[in-house]
Amino acid sequence: MIEIHNIHKTFNGVKVLDGIDGVFESGKMNMLLGASGTGKSVLLKCIVGLVKPDLGSITYDGRIFANNKLDIKQEIRRKIGMLFQGSALFDSMTVSENVEFPLRMLTDMSREERLARVEFCLQRVGLEKAGNKMPSELSGGMKKRVGIARAIAPHCTYLFCDEPNSGLDPLTAITIDELIKEITLEYDITTIVVTHDMNSVLEYGDNVMFLYKGKKLWEGHSSTIMDTRVKELNDFIFSNRLMRDAKKVEQIEEEERQEEENEKNNL
């Protein structure tokens, strides 16, 4: 479980995070939702300590993380798997070496065990054939998937994914969401996923936080997100036609039902 409290961050006088609180429980898909530029990536980087928050506290299973000694930070970080928004693959290494890297550095697995694990992880993201390629030879979506394979290769306790399925076709996107969900449940991982994909939010979000201009405007289970009265979230969800149409149909149905009821009552 990760708890954050009152996180503030300002870049060059511009407030990016403005007092964010949150509890991310293990075994759940915690999702950060929000428009581009609202500070989702910055919040994630604050949580892993790549960006130093101006104010606020962060604890991992009760252990203080932010502003703690480097040794303790590094110890906690060795249990973190992270997918960066830009994948951040090591471009001097092949795909397999990238996935093997955290195993080599952080575990005492034998070479055979490591290779088996690499193959397993690559297979899970559907890239078993790309092991010998260099990152520069991959498409954006493939890089993302290698990034996920690298993040989940060591059995992590905390998993952070910055837009795991952006740039992927709908089918692959679902596979990736499914994979993240599965390992979250299987190993009781504390998972935080940053996304703007409403499909994955509706399908997988156990605990969704909606960020808007550096503030948390809404939080709850994805099943209740459609009923929200928060205007900004409403605008966000129903920004695309399909969703708007869905909402319209819902409204019409609702009106019809009410009319029927009225008629009944009149009779």
Which residues in this chain contact another protein in the complex, by CB under 8 A? 45, 48-50, 71, 73-78, 80, 82, 84, 86, 88-91, 101-102, 105-106
Residue pair 218/31 in contact by the 8 Å Cβ criterion: no
Q: Mask of contacts with ligand ATP, 84-103, x by CB under 6 A?
A: -x------------------
- For residue 150, the minimal CB distance to ligand ATP (Å) is 20
Nearest to 159 by CA among 10, 62, 31: 31
For residues 110 and 88, what is the distance between their CA atoms, to the nearest angstrom? 26
- For residue 118, the minimal CB distance to another protein (Å) is 16
Lookup: tokens for 216: 């948390």
Q: Which of residues 64-93 bind Mg ion (CB under 5 A)?
A: 85
Please, which residue, 34 or 205, has the CB nearer to ligand ATP?
A: 34
Long-range contacts of 69-76 (CB under 8 A, 24+ apart): 73/49
Residue from the set 22, 28, 31, 34 that interacts with ligand ATP by CB under 6 A:
34
Please choose which of another protein, Mg ion, ligand ATP, none residue 11 contacts, taking the beta carbon within 5 to 8 angstroms, the exact cut-off set by kind.
ligand ATP
- For residue 82, the minimal CB distance to Mg ion (Å) is 13
For residues 53 and 58, what is the distance between their CA atoms, to the nearest angstrom? 10
For residues 117 and 264, what is the distance between their CA atoms, to the nearest angstrom? 65
- For residue 12, the minimal CB distance to ligand ATP (Å) is 6
Please, which residue, 13 or 62, has the CB nearer to ligand ATP?
A: 13
Q: Mask of contacts with Mg ion, 26-65, x by CB under 5 A?
A: ---------------x------------------------
Query: Which residues of the chain form contacts with ligand ATP (CB under 6 A)?
Result: 11-12, 16, 34, 36-42, 85
